[in-house]
Amino acid sequence: MKRRDFNNVLSAIAVAPVILGNARDAEAAAEWSLVANVAECCSCEIPCPCNFGRPTELRCDGNRLIEIYEGQVGGADLAGITFVVTFEMGKWTRIYVDESLNDAQTKAFDAIMPLAFAGFLRLSRSVERVPLTVVRTDDLISFSTPASEVEMRPLAGLDGSRITISGLPSNVFHDYVQYESVKHTHKGQEREWSYAGTNGFISRMVASG
| Residue 8 vs residue 138, higher pLDDT | 138
Instruction: Categorize the per-residue pLDDT at 14 as very low, low, confident or very high, splitting at 50, 70 and 90.
Output: very low
Which helix H or strand E contains 6, and what residues bound it?
A: helix 3-15
| Residue 26 vs residue 117, higher pLDDT | 117
DSSP 50: G
For residue range 22-38, list pLDDT tens digits in order.
334 544 555 999 999 99
Taking residues 106-130, report their average pLDDT.
97
pLDDT at residue 7 in the model: 53
For residue range 160-202, list pLDDT tens digits in order.
999 999 999 999 999 999 999 999 999 998 889 999 999 999 9
